[in-house]
Amino acid sequence: MDGGGVAPTTTASWLARHREMYKRATRHPFTVSIRDGTVDLAAFKRWLGQDYMFVQEFVAFLASVLLKCCKQSESSDMEIILGGLASLSDELSWFKKEAAKWSVDLAGVSPLSSNMEYRRFLQSFGEPEISYTVAITTFWIIETVYQDSFAFCIEEGNKTPPELLGTCQRWGSPEFKQYCQALQQITDRCLANAPSDAVKSAEEAFLRVLDLEVGFWDMSSPERQQNPQKPSTVQLLE
C-alpha cells in the first residue's frame, strides 16, 4: 500500500518489480547518447530505417488489437485504439520525410535480426487465442517505452542535437504521454477483471516487449548487435 493506503495498480506494480529491465529499455545508451548530444548519426540513420520497417508491421499488430477489442470490449477502448491506428498513417509519412532529410533509402532497408524477431512477435497477435488483455498490455508498454525514452531526450538540461528534436518530440510529447496513460488505464481495467493465467501471460508479454526494445535499440550500433543474445527475461521465467 502506498502512503494513501491505495493498492498500486497491476501495471504500477510491474513497473516497480521490473524497474531494472524497464530502465534498460528506456535509458538505453542509444537514446541517452541522443540526449547528451554524442549520438553517432550513422546509428540514428540505422534506427530510422529499421523503425520505419517496424511501424509497417505495427499497423497490422494494432489492427489485431482493435479486432480483439471490438469482439469483447467497451466502445471507449475502441475509439482510443482506433486513434492510435489512424495516427500511423501520418507516422509513415513522417518517416518518409525524415528519411529524405537524412538521405536514408527506405526502399533499400532490410530488417536486421532484432527487428525480424520483434516483427514475428507482433505477427503472433493475429492468433485469436491471444486475449485482448494480453494484446492491450503489449500495446501499452510498446508505446510507453518510446514515450519515456524520448521524453528523456527533451527534458530540462538535454543536449539533443536540434536536428533530432523533431524525432524526440514525436514520441516524447506530453500529448503522447497522455495517450499512453489512457492505454495504461485500459490495461489496468482489463487486468483487474482477468483470470490469473491471463494476468501471467500479460506480464510475460510486458517483459518480452522490454527485452525486444533493448534489442531494437542495440541494433542501432553494430558493436552492440554482436553481443551474444543473453536469455531474455521471459526465457528465464519459463
Ligand X SMILES: Cc1ncc(CO)c(N)n1
| CB closer to ligand X, 149 vs 198 | 149
The residue from 140, 146, 152, 206 that contacts ligand X (CB under 6 A) is: 146
Instruction: State yes or no: 143 annotated in a binding site.
Output: yes
Instruction: State yes or no: 156 annotated in a binding site.
Output: no
Residue 213 annotated in active site: yes
Query: Could you tell me the smallest distance in angstroms from the CB atom of residue 197 to ligand X?
Result: 27
Instruction: State yes or no: 218 annotated in a binding site.
Output: no
List the alpha helices (DSSP H) in the chain: 10-17, 19-26, 29-35, 41-72, 75-101, 113-123, 132-153, 165-172, 174-192, 196-218, 222-225, 233-237
Query: Could you tell me the smallest distance in angstroms from the CB atom of residue 3 to ligand X?
Result: 33
| CB closer to ligand X, 150 vs 194 | 150
| Binders of ligand X in range 12-71 (CB under 6 A) | 51, 54-55, 58
| Binding window for ligand X (CB under 6 A); candidates: 28-36, 140-148, 199-207, 219-227 | 140-148
Active-site residue, selected from the candidate residues 127, 129, 213, 223: 213
Q: Calculate the CA dihedral of residues 48, 51, 53, 58 and round it to 10 degrees.
A: -150
Question: The C-alpha cell of 135 is what?
Answer: 494484446
* Residue 73 DSSP label: S
| Residue 97 main-chain phi, psi, to 5 deg | -65, -45
User: Residue 18 to residues 24, 195, 208, 213: CA-CA distances in angstroms?
Assistant: 10, 21, 12, 14
Cβ atoms of residues 208 and 236 within 8 Å: no
Query: Could you tell me the smallest distance in angstroms from the CB atom of residue 168 to ligand X?
Result: 13
Measured at CB, which residue is nearest to ligand X? 146
* Residue 7 DSSP label: P
Residues in contact with ligand X by CB under 6 A are 51, 54-55, 58, 142-143, 146, 216
Specify binding-site residues. Answer: 51, 91, 143
Could you list the active site residues?
A: 213
Specify binding-site residues for substrate. Answer: 51, 91, 143
